[in-house]
Chain A
């Protein structure tokens, strides 16, 4: 795999996972509907 493409895919994976989890944590923290385990799925339900 070309080095550049590998890097681009890597950045996408990194941004998706790290920012996804960190934004998820933030949303979970600001959400007023607290579920017993704090899960997003529970809150949607």
Chain B
């Protein structure tokens, strides 16, 4: 037990942290080839420039495809790095494909659009691919950083956390439709409490075993009840409904409190066990 580190799912190392540094958006790849498009359009209306028009046009289209691939790859990476736990990224290496496609596009553009030699075109293509790779980085790891020791995978943890995030957003949207200040405040506290529970789970995915029911079932119930109240609230005040909603909020608050206590107790129990094991070990070794 003591061998297990809390937070068994793979956490970010310094390399991951470096990859979190802000990268220039893919806009650079959309902006830089624009003269190629103008060149293609101008050549289209000139005699004897058909090859330039076609070459530049095709190259522009390929570079746009490359930019889209790189953007998609960057989005996936940003999504993967949003949380403390690293998730398995897409199985398609979008950034790598983008860099290769960019190289091909630039090679075609240089040969047919600019009229460079084959060697020079290939060189420019390689340089563009290399530059793209250096600026946008490599794709995140494709292997699942599973945590078999904790009985759940990072994917499962992130899926449940994302689901919970969506439910919180729905509760927040419903809250904005409610005008009663007291109820709004209580809902705000509930949201904070749920976020705290999510933070605990994110910090140590092993707690998911205990928080799963809360994040799935109770939060789902809370969302439905809040939305239902917000919808019926717009048809006028109903004191009975308001009292019922207050009772539900009290229940939710109690459940959140219990959940947080359960998670912290679990940590303390684990610490107790670890201390006991350590004491036994020390006694055994006669220290």
Chain A residues in contact with chain B, CB under 8 A? 3-4, 6-7, 9-30, 34-35, 37-42
B133–A34 CB distance below 8 A: no
Q: Using A18-B29, A26-B39 as known contacts, say yes or no to A40 and B114 having CB atoms under 8 A apart.
A: yes
Q: Count CB-based A-B contacts (< 8 Å).
A: 144
- CB-CB < 8 A to B36: which residues of A? 21-22, 25-26
Distance (Å) between the CB of A11 and the closest chain B CB?
Answer: 6
By secondary structure, the A interface counts as helix
Q: Using A18-B33, A21-B59 as known contacts, say yes or no to A38 and B106 having CB atoms under 8 A apart.
A: no
A25–B55 CB distance below 8 A: yes
Distance (Å) between the CB of A15 and the closest chain B CB?
Answer: 7
Q: Which residues of B in the span 30-57 have a Cβ within 8 Å of any Cβ on A? A: 32-36, 38-40, 42-43, 46, 48-49, 51-53, 55-56
A15–B32 CB distance below 8 A: yes
By secondary structure, the B interface counts as helix
B134–A18 CB distance below 8 A: no
B228 contacts A by Cβ under 8 Å: no
Q: List 5 interface pairs A-B (beta carbons < 8 Å), by A numbering.
A: A7-B24, A24-B114, A24-B116, A25-B56, A28-B49
Which of A3, A26, A35 is B18 in contact with, Cβ under 8 Å? A3
